[in-house]
Amino acid sequence: MDTVSFVSPARVRTLLVPIGSLEREQFQRYVRDIEVSSEVRLVDVTRTRTRTFNPQGFPDGRVLYDFTTSLDSQETLFLQDFEPYRKTFVVIGLASSLEEPQEALESLKRLYKSSVVHCIVVFDKKPEFEHESVIFNATNTETVICDITRLFLDGLTGYLVSFQHITLRSPGTLGGNERAKTPVVKSKRISSGSSIGFSLSSDPANSKISIKSSNERRQARIKGRQQKILGNLLLIAGKYSDALKEFQEALILLKSGYDYLWIASTLEGIAVSIVMLCYLDLPYQLGPALNSALHSSAQPLHTLSSPSSTPNSSPRSSMAIGSLDLERFTTTELIYQILCKMIYYFESSQSDPEDYVPDLVYCESILRFLKLMTVVNFAGGLNTLCLHHMIKGRPLSIHSDIPYTYDKMDMVRISNKVMSVQFKSMDILSQTRIFGSLSALYGDMGLPRKRNFMLRTLFVCLIPQLKAQPGSSTDYDLTDIFNVLMSVYGVDRQSEANIESAHAPRWIQIVKSTLKLCSAISAELSDVESVIKFKSLMLTRFADSLTDNEQAKLLADIERLSKEHDIQVYYPDPFVLRSINLVKLSNPPMKQKTAVKENSTDPVLYNPYLQTAIIDKSYVVQGEFTEFLVEIQNPFAFAISINEIKIPGLEIFKNHFTIQPKTIGKINVLTKPLTPGKLVIDSAEIRISEFSIQRFKICKAEKAANPPKLKHQETTNKDILNTFYKNMVSNNVDGRAETSQIELHVITAQPNLQLTSHIEPLMLLEGGKQIVEVKLKNHSDISVNILKFSIWDSTINPLSKLLESRDKLATDLYEYEYFLYKRSVNIISKIDEIQPNEEVPLLLEVVGKRGAVKVKLALEYGHSDDSGLQFTRCLDIPVPITVQQSTDLADCDVIPLSESIGSSEVPIWQYVNEKGGAVSDYVLFFVDIRNVSNKPINIDVQYKDYKVSDNIVPMDTKRLTIPMKRIDIDYENLKPIPLKHSRFTRSRISKNEEQFQKESFWYREELLRDLKGTWSIGEITGDIEFRGIRLTQKMLTVMRVEKVNVSIDIEGEVARTGRFRHLTPGEFFTVNVTIENKTERALKGTLRNIPTTSTYGSIEKKILYNGILQMPLDEDIAPGTSVTHSMGAVLLESGEYEWGAVFDELGNELQHVSRIPLYIKAT
């Protein structure tokens, strides 16, 4: 029971105990089910056998239960007749099933004789047994508690009868704690032994001196005390109106008997009754006796400081005649005045040798008063929120913008009265509750220094009490005390399990002294386990505030105690494991999307854009060595030893490491996967130094924190030490740290292929070739039936980088791709499978590739079975090579042929004449080849079936002449330049430039398709690279076959010598210009004749022509047809003339020039 709760005098203390073989978890579940029905309405309770506590007399009432699983404190038994609410009235046995209910009920009554009601609640089906105290099939706990309430109300009648024939004595006469408090208020009693007494009445209606005999005064005390006890019982029975009435009648008798102690207790009962009636929203009636008590000659302790008037927060009192002074008070003011007068009467009783207030009653009454004021201040008045918090325990929101009802300094002055009590005669648990509650109240009031003082006082009181009773100290269960002590300053915050708790404000120095003191107390009690837990808690949560020596001493003490008493201890840092990472494997397996096949369609073996394998580092092989990098942190000032590491699913080979103080150590752990399948690693079992082996989760980083701004709410019911140790054992860090995991896929055993011979360093000329041999051996029991070769050389990376550029022309990109895909190694041997432990040779043809300084052959191998899963590995075969230039393409050119030479001695003309056709259908291709090697070189160049050979000395250049027929390509409908991977380029060129790029590309491809060349130096041979040829617009014009052909000739028979036609001056002749359309479109445009002369002077004075030189065509030239235009002319002077023609198409910018002009010589 929370004895400092203001409504605790209105609660029924009820003990819950297990019956039969009930497991702990099941019992706790039943307890939670029962606790839900802690408030019972009297209207739901059936009629009792007696009238006094009949629920029908006050159906609006409530019976409030305080369920507990611990017995009454033996130190407070003497107070139960003075304050009945301290007694355990009801004992409920909880069982899942019961075979002998009668025997169990009798056993319960024998064990708990002092209780009023004994009953058993069975949650199983009902056997053949009926008894009102045994409830079976308890599925509805609300109905069960209502039935128990009826038994309780019936039992109260008998309990009340026991008080009628006895004289109620004060606790001081029953052997209670000694009076140690100095009287504060002088007694108004003249003589306790005289037969006549004098009493000053403060009742305005009766303001005269009344003289009573000592016998009458004694009888008034006896009757008043009995009525006060009746009021207490009616209060816990929920009949608050009747309780208020009985308290007021008792107040008249007790005041007439000068029974100050019982008057004070009665006043508290009146205040509690008023609060409970406010909770029910019912009016209350106060008589003149209360008015008389509040208008005593003694002044109240202090007055309210600007009390808040809340007319709607609770009902107003309805006053009788002669009590009009109380009407000026609101309910909060009235309760304040009543409780202030309660303290006054408690202090007045201190002068009585027998009827004095016990220290515990005095302190707890003041604390309840302070608790009420604190809750009212936080709630903004005695409103519904305040009442539900006090009675139902609902959370209370603090309204900082509402002014306090009660003044803080008044509360401090009241609280100071607690410190006037001498606590040395009080039991330890009571001291702890008082000081803990007082410190919590100071914390709520925002007085941290007073809160610290209360704790320090408590610490000072504990040790002497324990040392004074060394023989009986083990009888104390200090778990509650420790929980109170630690929760006050936030030690109950689970900083290892919650990020908000880790960043909450801490009282470092006081927490250190508190934990040290708790550890010392546990040592006095020989509670070694608690000592170890306290020391571990200090290292875990407050290591940053400990010195290096303090940390080392705590570690030494923990290790010493664990060895001496054979107790398992756990390492105090739950975040020790920071990461587990798989070290990059030297040759990791790769999972294939599809079956690996030899790529026969790709022009090269290596394709950097075509990846058939998914490289996944999380694949490891069963039975093969796998290395992990484990990060271990050591935040402490002492070194730690990692004696053992266990990771599920892995066999560990290396297990002993040392981590230096205040560092994060990285250790390499060698393992072997045991079984194939999916392996998730989120933790590891680690044995550190002398601590027990523990499971630690991988703590990647600390979570982001949003520390709460609300004050810490102390909780005294937490088992802080065991919760802490449970967090350590289970490594409960999810709320504090971001945990991580790694996922591995352990695959079955794979083949292991190794290189048993190496290639010696090679030196090749560009285009040269050399065959080499290497040997491969399978060092496993698994055959290799997946083999795929890939080639890498040093030109791939720069070429790939050039391909990423967006400002390159398509022709350049094509060249980059060509050389990117050009092989530097050719595979000669064909290997389909390598058997286990078999060695096979591999023949390679190494090619001298320009720019290659490093060449590597990557062999991707694996084993394919019927499961469908295929994994491969890669074996790198380095090819050490040095490539030097052999030949260089210096220049090239193309010129047309316009005359035929009949000589058969020149191979070129012989070739042209043999092929037949017009000479103008051929061109001469010149290529300049330079020998850049240091030796003479023989070259052989062939274009189709024409061959030419020559010898070039070092550093010399030779021009080779090759006749070739003009290339006939539809240059007007050229396809785009083919790229293996289309790219977006920013290069912006005109249409003419784009047309030129297409023509130069396709004409060069046609040329290179038939142009081949080789070189030889002795027995060493190689290929000549002609891709350096670049064609200009002039070359293209010469090489191509025009789609629109313009030809010129003289009509009739004219003598001819070579290219010249012979005419005489003054001779008329006709020039025919023929336009032949080989395109697929109709042509229209303008024909321009252009005659020129080799002599000086204007052409108009040397030639006359019939018509105009420039004229549009009358009709379109249809596709596949030709048009001839004739013009008459006469030469006026002797000389050499040249007649050309140009046809300009209409509608575009195309211009067609006669390829062979007409040459005329006039003599």
Q: Taking a C-beta distance cutoff of 8 angstroms, is the pair 184, 301 a contact?
A: no
Band of residue 991 on the pLDDT scale cut at 50, 70, 90: confident
SS3 179: coil
Burial of 521 (C-beta count, 10 Å sphere; 0-12/13-18/19+): buried
> Does pLDDT of 147 surpass 70?
yes
What is the full DSSP assignment across 533-597? HHHHHHHHHHGGGS-HHHHHHHHHHHHHHHHHHT-----S-TT-EEEEEEPPPSS--EEESS---
Q: Which tens digits make up the pLDDT trace of 890-927?
A: 999 999 887 655 555 578 888 888 887 778 888 999 99
For the domain 887-1038, what is the CATH code? 2.60.40
pLDDT > 90: what percent of the chain?
Answer: 34
Band of residue 706 on the pLDDT scale cut at 50, 70, 90: low
For residue 528, count other CB atoms closer than 10 A to its CB: 15
Nearest-angstrom CA–CA distance, 235 and 253: 19
What pLDDT sits at residue 313? 40
- Only one residue has tokens 């900082």, namely 400
Q: Which residue has the higher pLDDT, 679 or 465?
A: 679
Chain-wide mean pLDDT for the chain? Answer: 82
pLDDT > 70: what percent of the chain?
Answer: 85
Reference 245, options 257, 259, 227; nearest CA is 227
The residue-averaged pLDDT of 139-148 equals: 88
What pLDDT sits at residue 481? 64
> Does pLDDT of 179 surpass 80?
no
CATH 2.60.40.10 fits 1042-1162, yes or no: yes
The residue-averaged pLDDT of 875-885 equals: 89
What pLDDT sits at residue 986? 55
For domain 8-162, the CATH class is: alpha beta
443-452, 706-715, 753-762, 985-994: segment of lowest average pLDDT: 706-715
The residue-averaged pLDDT of 56-76 equals: 85
275-289, 584-598, 660-674, 886-900: segment of lowest average pLDDT: 584-598
What pLDDT sits at residue 1048? 92
What pLDDT sits at residue 399? 65
> Does pLDDT of 319 surpass 70?
no
What pLDDT sits at residue 127? 63
- Only one residue has tokens 């052999």, namely 886
Q: Taking a C-beta distance cutoff of 8 angstroms, is the pair 414, 87 a contact?
A: no
Q: Tokens representing 516?
A: 């040290």
Q: Where do you find CATH 2.60.40.10 in the chain?
A: 577-597+609-702+736-747, 1042-1162
Nearest-angstrom CA–CA distance, 995 and 1033: 11
The residue-averaged pLDDT of 546-557 equals: 93
- φ, ψ dihedrals at 12, nearest 5°: -100, 115
The residue-averaged pLDDT of 30-40 equals: 90
Q: Tokens representing 425?
A: 């005669």
Q: Taking a C-beta distance cutoff of 8 angstroms, is the pair 931, 910 a contact?
A: no
SS3 463: helix
Band of residue 1013 on the pLDDT scale cut at 50, 70, 90: very high
Query: Strand locations in 279-345, DSSP E?
Result: 284-286, 317-319
What pLDDT sits at residue 484? 65
Helix (H) or strand (E) segment spanning residue 924: strand 922-931
What pLDDT sits at residue 920? 80
Q: Taking a C-beta distance cutoff of 8 angstroms, is the pair 502, 511 a contact?
A: no
Burial of 219 (C-beta count, 10 Å sphere; 0-12/13-18/19+): middle
Q: Which residue has the higher pLDDT, 998 or 188?
A: 998
CA angle 577, 583, 585 (to 5 degrees): 155
Q: Which tens digits make up the pLDDT trace of 389-446?
A: 999 888 887 766 678 888 989 999 999 998 888 877 787 778 888 888 888 888 888 8
Q: Taking a C-beta distance cutoff of 8 angstroms, is the pair 423, 438 a contact?
A: no
- Report the topology of domain 577-597+609-702+736-747: Immunoglobulin-like (2.60.40)
The residue-averaged pLDDT of 990-998 equals: 87
What pLDDT sits at residue 817? 86
Band of residue 298 on the pLDDT scale cut at 50, 70, 90: very low
**End-to-end distance of the chain based on CA atoms, in angstroms?**
144
Nearest-angstrom CA–CA distance, 317 and 287: 10
- φ, ψ dihedrals at 578, nearest 5°: -95, -35
CA angle 206, 211, 213 (to 5 degrees): 140
Q: Which tens digits make up the pLDDT trace of 470-493?
A: 554 445 566 776 776 677 667 878
> Does pLDDT of 217 surpass 70?
yes
> Does pLDDT of 1050 surpass 80?
yes
Nearest-angstrom CA–CA distance, 41 and 713: 30
> Does pLDDT of 587 surpass 60?
yes
Band of residue 1059 on the pLDDT scale cut at 50, 70, 90: confident
Q: Which tens digits make up the pLDDT trace of 762-819?
A: 888 888 888 999 999 998 888 998 888 888 888 888 888 888 887 888 888 888 888 8
Q: Which residue has the higher pLDDT, 905 or 1115?
A: 1115
- φ, ψ dihedrals at 866, nearest 5°: -80, -5
> Does pLDDT of 1122 surpass 60?
yes
What pLDDT sits at residue 10? 93
Q: Which residue has the higher pLDDT, 208 or 20?
A: 20
Q: Taking a C-beta distance cutoff of 8 angstroms, is the pair 49, 154 a contact?
A: yes
- φ, ψ dihedrals at 922, nearest 5°: -115, 155
Q: Taking a C-beta distance cutoff of 8 angstroms, is the pair 534, 527 a contact?
A: no
Q: Taking a C-beta distance cutoff of 8 angstroms, is the pair 80, 93 a contact?
A: no
β-bridge pairing 762-765 and 881-884: parallel
Q: Which tens digits make up the pLDDT trace of 643-663?
A: 999 998 898 887 788 999 999
Nearest-angstrom CA–CA distance, 274 and 386: 14
77-100 b/e with 16+ CB inside 10 Å = b?
A: ebbbbbbbbbbbbbbbbbbbebee
- Only one residue has tokens 């140009």, namely 1142
Nearest-angstrom CA–CA distance, 685 and 828: 54
Residues ≥6 apart with Cβ < 8 Å to 325: 204, 291, 294, 295
> Does pLDDT of 633 surpass 50?
yes
Nearest-angstrom CA–CA distance, 256 and 267: 15
What pLDDT sits at residue 979? 85
Q: What is the dihedral of CA 385, 387, 392, 396, to 10 degrees?
A: 40
> Does pLDDT of 494 surpass 60?
yes
Residue type, 70: S
Would you put residue 1052 in left (φ > 0), alpha (ψ -120 to 50) or beta? left
Nearest-angstrom CA–CA distance, 22 and 353: 50
What pLDDT sits at residue 318? 38
The residue-averaged pLDDT of 755-764 equals: 88
Q: Where do you find CATH 3.40.50 in the chain?
A: 8-162
- What DSSP state is assigned to residue 735? B
Residue 156 vs residues 167, 228, 247, 721: alpha-carbon distances, Å: 19, 15, 17, 40
What pLDDT sits at residue 899? 65
pTM for the structure as a whole: 0.52
Q: What is the dihedral of CA 1057, 1061, 1066, 1072, to 10 degrees?
A: 160
Q: Which tens digits make up the pLDDT trace of 812-840?
A: 888 888 888 888 888 888 888 999 999 99
